[in-house]
Structure formats: structure tokens, C-alpha cells
Amino acid sequence: MRMLSRTCGALAVALVLGQAHAEDAFDTLRARWQMQLVGDAALDRGDAAVQAQLQARARAAREWLPRMHTAPDGDRLWDDMADFDNPKGLLASAAVTANALRLQRMALAYATPGSPLYHDAALGQATVAGLDWLLRHHYRAGKAQIGNWWDWQIGTPQRLLDALCLMYDQTPAELRARGVAAVNWYVPDPNYRTRADGSINAKAVETGANLLDKALVAILAGMLVRDDARVALGRDAIGPTLEYVDHSDGFYRDGSFVQHEYVPYTGSYGAVALTDYARLVLLLSHSVWPVTDKRLPHVFLWARDSYAPWFVDGGMPDALRGRKISWPAHTEHSTGRSMIANLAMLAEVAPAADAAALRADIKGWMTRDRTFGAGYLATPGGAGTSGLSLYELGLLKKIAADAAIPAAPEPAGARLYASMDRAILRGGGYAAVLSITSPRMSSFEAGNGENLQGWWTGMGMLSLYTADQTQFAGNFWPTVDIRRLPGTTTDHSGGARGVEWKKYPNTESWVGGVTQGRNAALGMAFSMREVTGTALHGKKSWFQLGDRIVALGADIGGAEAETIVENRKLTDTQARFVVDGAALSNGGKAGARWAYLRDEQAGSGIGYVFPRGADIVAERAERSGNWRALNDQESAQEVHATFQTLSIPHKAVNSYAYVLLPAASEAATEQAARDTSLRIEANDANVAAVQDTRAQVYAANLWQAGSAPRGGKPYVTASGPAAVVLAEQGSTLRVSVADPTQGQPVLELTVARPVAGVVSAAPGVTVLATAPQLRLRIDTARAAGSGYTAEFSLPPQR
């Protein structure tokens, strides 16, 4: 007891970065890690939110203690976590991690100053006994791995090492040494994955988030047994993750993050990477083992470019969370809050400009996020806590209370992350996230019994975020018709269970686009041949023009195809839905010009305009399902939700055109249906093009070499497939162009109009002529789908 008090008392001095070591380098490192687990000395432990966390942890520990089996040679610690011999290996290995997690939480309740169970003798003895039992029976050097490798090499060791750190002065040196020996047996080198027998598999090189997780494991293991070489090995394993990649796992230069070679994972494995970076950099800064890699500043750049642009009112979109969408406890906003807390940690060691920008973003997200009930930081969640560590909670409270930190607003405009086939479009009161798929990416990932029905989630789903911050939370995923997701053109295929870890690529290469401020031209030529195995194919475009999103589709072939304009979960089951001014929640309408959905309880209104008229079908229905259908580990209990669907069947036509007005009123939607400033210039197998004559913006997707028209005449001509946005503002013309196929070394572009001169041009753009037509050559060989922009002065109007 006395020794633990000494360690906790040292927090006030040893946990301040850059101050003198407490006892030696290892003690300082351990004290810093304890700080991240139990909070720093400055934390107000009488604060209501902090007290709620402390009380919740104590309640959980009090519940677990009387149910704990204490026989040293018993076959379990708890009856609800005894699947060690389950024939399903995944459940057996998960049981080991689950026991380690519970022991870690007990250790937190014991070792956290201010906890009702702080230094409680019975809890301390039970925790140490549980650690000893787990290390003798199920996690020991020489015991073969079964089930999921992650449990043995990341999940269990991280939680076990946390518990041993928290209980350091209560555990015999022999127990700590045995625990570290077990960890080192399963993780002898963080750079490689080990086989079931503990041998290193030199062909299984760890990357991305997994490598960072194992680097942390090595550092904590070395810290506990004062092994300098082990700590250094873990630190050096961080280095490979700091390099940009151009394929497979990691961070790309456009800000994309990919894991498992072909899955966009910013909000899942990327979230883990963010957690690890924040914890590791904070832990090692000003220590004997600082991260001196010259690439370390990339981490702060990624915080600004890879993570921050994706948050929508504090939530991290499902489009970036992969298999995690099948976990009901892990929502967009719970994930977002955890990631925001990690950004707050990173801001502690970031350069001043980056730290200031991150804290302003954080305050804005905390201010706008309404999904946590009574308060962003006070609402219990998960196992009775917010899911945040007390240290993270303290950092967020500090930012919230600092009047000198402004609350940054939601940004505006479009961003394309071409290396992972994702885009986000933002305008007044909305954000729309586009999930598309190329030969490089998979339409979805199934694995570990998770995300078993994700077939259409990457095939053109457009996730629209409005004032309704819980649209994709609750029971959206088990109840939505998974084969009729908003934005997709579907033939309702893909009902079978997804093959785990299989890549499901789109075989068409035209996937991507180009952005220019609040304007964008995005598209996807698609085939379902390698996804669900059907003959469905087509060409889909999305054009952002300010606060409008124009969706065009053409060349659609396949049986029973339809395009899903909307499939929205309703908060108000009686929400108003009108077509051409008349209520029509169920039924068809030929030649419809506009529709409007108003969900008063959600505070959300969305307008839909059909510029060329459309034969539409509206459906409102309560749907049921269960999470077990998506995730083998989840409940089979039936859940319900009501949806409003709006679709365009393709029995008679192989194209579609509609406009989304994400935050418009009903009157504004009706007016937009009469507005002639939006013109669809082309929508066929060769090109899709639109023009906003009022804003003087033109955008086109050229599916192949050729011309895109304006006013019936060729306006933009490209030597190959291209996405183009042209915007006139005053006396200037801005031209943005990209090669969405990512396969052309050079792209030549001609615009059928003269310019007076060159104002600026991105590297790689060569101006071949300014009159009588503007001609450009763009070096796209190493662009990886990114766009090029040039600005020109226009001749005086005659």
C-alpha cells in the first residue's frame, strides 16, 4: 500500500513532460503510463463528470467481485467469461481477452485516486489473484494460439500490461516477470506476426495500426521489467508506420488510410493508429527513448488532413469504419468521441499551430454533438463510463472551459480521398459521404464473423448527414434493406453471407473525380461481376454545385435494376413526405418533378428534384431485423425501425437524374423544380455533364476520350477519361481536372474558349495554348487520382 501511494504521489512531478525523472527512466515511464490510465494530478476528481466515471467503475467492480471464482486451480474466473474451450476458436481466444479486460478494469477501480475502491484491499487481492490465474492457465509462454491471432498478440497483452502497471506495487516481481515473459513469447518482435507455436513468421510483416499496437505492447513489456532493449525495439517499430505508402496499408499522400490492403479504414484501424500515436508520442516525449524519426511530423499532418476533415458534428462516418458498423455499441459518435479525445492528447505534443487548430476543431465538435444526452462529457456509455480515460476526459474538459479557444465551424466544400475511394461533400447544414469502389478497393470487408452483409455499402452509397445526428445509429444497419442503400443502383443481389477476408472489387477503373471548393465532379463506372456475381453495370455521377448534389446515372444494364434515391430511417413514423405537393408516403408517380421529406422530430428536411421528370416509387414501412445477421457475436433479438424509401425503377429507362437539396425547405424545393439555371448537358454512356448558369460552374465526367457538350456544342475535350470542373468568377476561370482511372501518364484537355493569360498553374500542368481555345497537358503519371488546378484571366467582355 505504501509503495503505491508513493507512486501515485509522484504523479504531480513525474508526469509533467520535460521535468526531472522521479526515480529513474523506467519509473518515470511507468508513472507517465499510469497518468494516461488514471488521470493527471491536476484533474478535479470532485467534478460531476469525473465522479460519474469513478462511481461507474466502482459499481462494475463491486458487481464482479462476488461472482469471481477464487480457487487457484479452478476452470474459470467468471461464469459469463468461460469460453476458453469453445470449439469456435474465435470465441475461445476472445474469452482470454475478455478476462484480461475485466481484470484491467478492476485494476483501474483500485488504482485510480478518488475511486470509491481506491486501495480497497479485497479488490486488490482479487485482481492480483486473477492475473496470476490467467497467466497460469490461459496466457503463458509456450501455450499455442487458437482462434484470432489479435487476441494473443494485441488484445490480451495490452490489457494485461495495463493491469500489471496499475498493480505494480501489489504484484510480486515473479508475477510481473511471468506476465512479460508470456507477452514476449507471443510478441517476440512487434514487426512480425507469430505463428500458433510462437515462432516468427517473417513473411507476415506487420503494418499500420497492428504494428503500432504491437509497438506499444513491446514498450510496456520492456518498461515493466526494466528492459532497455525491449523499449527501444518497440519505439523503433513506430518508424515504418510514419512513411507514406502508395499501395497496401497505411497513410497515402491524399490523406487516405487503408488497412488489410484494400479497405478504407480511417474510422476503425485508423482510429487505433491515432490512439497509438497519441499515447506513444506523449509517453516517449522527453524520455530516454524519444521518437527521433524525422518523419514524426507526418503524424500531426495526418491529424489535420486524414482525420479532422471527416468528422461530422463529432461523428466519424460509417463509410470509414468497415466491419465496425456491425457492432451496435460502436456508433459513429462514440467512435468519434474516442478519436477526438486522442486528438486532444496529440495536441499536447503537437507544434503550436497544429495544436491550436486541433483544439478549435475539438471545441466545435463537442459544442455541436447532441447525441450524448445531458452533456458531451457527462453521459455514461459503454460499461457505465463515457468510454474515455480520465486523462482524456480532463483534456476535453480543459478545452471546453478555455474561453480563448474558439469553436471551429463545420468546414464547407468537397474533398476526395482517391486512394481509398471515399469523398465528403459539405454545404450549408449538411454533409454527404460517398462510398465508391474501384479495382484497388473492396466494396466491403467481412471477417471474424462481422459485417456479413455489407455487399452494397461501397457501391455508391451516399450517406446524407443533416440535423438528424443519429440517422445511422440505433438500429439502422440491422433493419435497413441492406440491398437498397441510398445512392446505389441495385438489382437486390448479395443476400448470402460474405466470404471472410475476401476482396470484392469493382472491375471498372473509372472511379474517382475532382473537387474545387464547393464544387465537385465525382463518378463510378461499376460492374457487380466480382461483387455479387450479377451482370448489373452502369455509370454513376455525383456533382456538387454549392448546396446541391446532382446525381446522374446512365448505361445501366441488368435485370430488375432500380436506383435508390433515398432510404431514410425516420424518427417520426408519421413524417411528412410529398411528391409534387401531394402526400405520397406509399405509391408510384409518373413524371414526378419534386419530392420533400420532413422529419420534424429529427429536425431534418430534405428536398429531391427530378430535372427531367421521373417515374418514382415511394414506400414507407416498418422493418425488422437483428444484429446477429450482421455479426455472429451480437444479439438475435428482433429490432425495428421505420424507413421512407424513394426509388427510380429501370424497367423502361437505363438512366436517371435527380438533385438532392439536403437542408432545403419544402417551398425552396418546389421553387428549385422550376429553376432553369441547372442544366443537364449530357448523361449517356460517353459523358455526364451539368452546368449551373447562375453560379457559372460547369462539371463533367468523360467516361472515355471525347467531348463534353455545353449548349449542344463540344465544350471540353479530353484525350482520355477525365473528370473536370470549370468555374468562372469575375474575370477569372478556374479549371480543375483529374484522371480517375489512375492509369494515364498524360492527359490533354481542350476548353472551347480563349483565355487572356495564366494566373497560376499547379506543378504538372503545361499550358499549350490560350487562344483560340485553351489547351492543357497534365502529367498524371504519379497523381494517384488527385486533381490539378489552374487559374486563368479572361478576356474583357465585348
pLDDT at 14 over 90: no
Residue 637: CB atoms within 10 Å: 9
pLDDT band at 378 (very low <50, low <70, confident <90, very high): confident
pLDDT-above-90 percentage for the chain: 94
Which residue type does 795 have?
A: P
pLDDT at 92 over 70: yes
- Residue 84: what pLDDT? 97
Average pLDDT in the 231-236 region?
Answer: 98
CA 749/CA 87 separation, integer angstroms: 61
Which residue type does 666 have?
A: E
pLDDT band at 9 (very low <50, low <70, confident <90, very high): very low
Alpha-carbon distance values, 308 to 35, 208, 304, 516 (Å): 26, 19, 5, 19
Average pLDDT in the 260-284 region?
Answer: 98
Average pLDDT in the 620-628 region?
Answer: 99
For 238-410, which CATH superfamily applies? Chondroitin AC/alginate lyase (1.50.10.100)
C-alpha atoms less than 13 angstroms from C-alpha of 258 in its C-beta half-sphere: 24
Q: Which residues contact 303 (CB under 8 A, 6 or more apart)?
A: 274, 343, 346, 350, 354, 358
Q: What is the pLDDT of residues 757-780, one digit of tens each?
A: 999 999 999 999 999 999 999 999
| Residue from 39, 36, 32, 38 nearest 13 by CA | 32
pLDDT at 209 over 50: yes
- Residue 696: what pLDDT? 98
CA 295/CA 250 separation, integer angstroms: 14
Domain 413-675 sits in CATH at 2.70.98.10
CA 223/CA 235 separation, integer angstroms: 12
pLDDT at 355 over 50: yes
- Residue 1: what pLDDT? 29
Average pLDDT in the 570-593 region?
Answer: 98
Exposure class string for 517-545: b at 16+ Cβ within 10 A, else e: bbbbbbbbbbbbebbbebebbbbbbbbbb
Helix (H) or strand (E) segment spanning residue 551 = strand 548-557
pLDDT-above-70 percentage for the chain: 96
Q: What is the pLDDT of residues 638-669, one digit of tens each?
A: 999 999 999 999 999 999 999 999 999 999 99
pLDDT at 178 over 80: yes
- Of 157-171, 361-375, 503-517, least confident by mean pLDDT is 361-375
List the beta bridge partners of residue 717. 707, 750
Active-site position among 138, 159, 323, 333? 323
Q: What is the pLDDT of residues 412-470, one digit of tens each?
A: 999 999 999 999 999 999 999 999 999 999 999 999 999 999 999 999 999 999 999 99
Look over the chain and give the mean of its residue pLDDT values, rounded to a whole number.
95
What is the CATH architecture assignment of 680-793? Answer: Sandwich (2.60)
Q: Which residue is listed with cell 438533385?
A: 659
CA 571/CA 602 separation, integer angstroms: 6
- Residue 547: what pLDDT? 97
Q: Which residue is listed with cell 517473417?
A: 202
Q: Is 260 one of the catalytic residues?
A: yes
Q: Is 537 one of the catalytic residues?
A: no
Active-site position among 260, 426, 568, 620? 260
Q: Is 333 one of the catalytic residues?
A: no
Exposure class string for 606-633: b at 16+ Cβ within 10 A, else e: bbbbbbeebbbbbbbeebebbbbbbbbe
Active-site position among 192, 269, 656, 658? 269
Average pLDDT in the 380-408 region?
Answer: 84
CA 238/CA 214 separation, integer angstroms: 9
- Residue 13: what pLDDT? 34
Phi then psi for 86, rounded to 5 degrees? -60, 130
For 44-229, which CATH superfamily applies? Chondroitin AC/alginate lyase (1.50.10.100)
- Residue 382: what pLDDT? 41
Give residue limits of the domains in the chain.
Answer: 44-229, 238-410, 413-675, 680-793
pTM: 0.95
Average pLDDT in the 501-507 region?
Answer: 99
pLDDT at 626 over 60: yes
pLDDT at 233 over 70: yes
Q: Do the first three CATH levels of 44-229 and 413-675 match, i.e. the same topology?
A: no
- Residue 386: what pLDDT? 60
- The DSSP 8-state label assigned to residue 742 in this structure reads S
